[in-house]
């Protein structure tokens, strides 16, 4: 699966050149995200001191709009220390748009490499391999799309952690809660612990999902195969009683799958809702003691969510990973069967 794309001279330009473009684009996005986090501090500190501009409202309103949509940072018409939200968000939107588009193209090239790596080998096999057409057409497509999407998220998460851990570590000095205020980098350690704990619970709650996804693909393949064969021979295939029996297997497997996804969704939704308030539980008291300002509170909340999101990447993508594991298993079985049955002269060199 991987060697068709990453170990092929034909696809080396796309595999490594395209990957470098994606990584560079993600790095620029993360840098803009760090700048936006700094903007949060300035903007919300301005809002907290809005009462000081009662007698000079025009100045306060000008600063307010300057923080949001001002272009002075670009034009140099005024001394502005930080760019406005518009100046930061506009390039971020275009970078995100380009990255999403290029990622899909990258995944399509990967699928092409796998598909036309499998086909010549499969054509030499005389034995029947279960679900061959599905594995070449659908599983290659889903595998490439999931891996490129998940891989992109992993790279983004790593870059985000590299950028935001120092910020969150420094902000940990603002914690004014007993015990936590005595631990250096307490916010970072807290994000790591709750993420690992959430991942462990997710592993337990979703333990049966990979097997059910794998069985689901098998019963779907059998149902579709009978319908495909019936396109050329309705006399011997697509009989109602046969299709009903096959669909009964599909329905039974989906019902079990949905039941277990229900348990898993209940856990993940509850976890995510709790994590929204964690930064406020930790930092909120400091607002009332004067230890922090509103801007710092918002900065901590944003930085905590970024770091926690990086640590909890696999938790938030558990259903996707479950699907990927089942697809990988099917494609790995397919490769094993090709290796077993194909003619010696067509076997790829190690």
- 141: containing domain: 3-346
Question: For residue 153, what is the domain's CATH number?
Answer: 1.20.1560.10
Residue 74 has a pLDDT of: 79
Q: Residue 111: which residues within 8 A CB-CB, separation 6 or more?
A: 140, 141, 143, 144, 145
- Mean pLDDT of successive 10-residue stretches along the chain, which has 350 residues: 84 92 93 90 88 87 90 74 88 92 90 88 80 81 85 87 89 81 87 86 83 81 81 79 85 86 87 87 84 86 87 82 84 85 59
| Alpha carbon distance 36, 92 (integer Å) | 10
Alpha carbons within 13 angstroms on the beta-carbon side of residue 259 total 8
Residues counted in the chain: 350
Residue 196 · residue 311 · CB < 8 Å: yes
Domain count, the chain: 1
Backbone angles phi, psi at 348, to 5 degrees: -70, 145
Residue 350: what pLDDT? 46
Contacts of 238 (CB under 8 A, 6+ apart): 226, 227, 229, 230
Please report where in the chains the tokens 């891996």 appear, as a residue.
147
User: Which H helix or E strand runs over 325?
Assistant: helix 318-341
Could you give the CA distance from residue 350 to residue 341 in angstroms, rounded to a whole number?
17
DSSP state of 275: H
């Amino acid at each position: 699966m991987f060697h068709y794309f990453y170990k092929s001279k034909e696809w080396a330009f796309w595999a490594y050149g395209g990957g470098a473009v994606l990584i560079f684009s993600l790095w620029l996005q993360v840098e803009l995200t760090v700048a936006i986090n700094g903007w949060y501090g300035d903007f919300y500190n301005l809002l907290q001191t809005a009462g000081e501009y009662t007698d000079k409202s025009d100045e306060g309103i000008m600063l307010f709009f300057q923080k949001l949509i001002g272009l002075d940072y670009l034009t140099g018409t005024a001394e502005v220390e930080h760019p406005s939200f518009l100046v930061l968000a506009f390039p971020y939107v275009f970078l995100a748009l380009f990255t999403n588009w290029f990622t899909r193209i990258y995944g399509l090239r990967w699928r092409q490499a796998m598909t036309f790596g499998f086909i010549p080998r499969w054509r030499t096999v005389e034995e029947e391999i279960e679900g061959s057409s599905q594995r070449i057409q659908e599983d290659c497509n889903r595998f490439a799309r999931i891996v490129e999407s998940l891989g992109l998220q992993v790279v983004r998460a790593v870059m985000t952690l590299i950028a935001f851990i120092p910020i969150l570590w420094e902000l940990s000095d603002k914690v004014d809660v007993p015990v936590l205020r005595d631990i250096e980098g307490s916010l970072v350690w807290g994000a790591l612990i709750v993420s690992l704990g959430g991942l462990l619970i997710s592993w337990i709650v979703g333990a049966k999902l990979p097997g059910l996804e794998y069985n689901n693909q098998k019963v779907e393949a059998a149902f579709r195969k009978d319908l495909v064969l019936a396109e050329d021979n309705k006399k011997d295939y697509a009989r109602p009683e046969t299709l009903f029996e096959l669909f009964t297997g599909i329905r039974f497997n989906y019902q079990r799958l949905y039941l277990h996804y229900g348990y898993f969704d209940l856990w993940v939704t509850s976890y995510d809702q709790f994590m929204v308030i964690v930064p406020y539980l930790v930092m909120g008291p400091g607002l009332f003691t004067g230890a922090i300002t509103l801007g710092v509170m918002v900065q901590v909340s944003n930085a905590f969510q970024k770091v926690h999101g990086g640590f909890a990447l696999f938790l938030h993508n558990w259903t996707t990973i479950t699907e990927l594991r089942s697809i990988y298993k099917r494609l790995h079985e397919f490769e094993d069967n090709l290796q077993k049955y194909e003619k010696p002269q067509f076997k790829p060199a190690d």
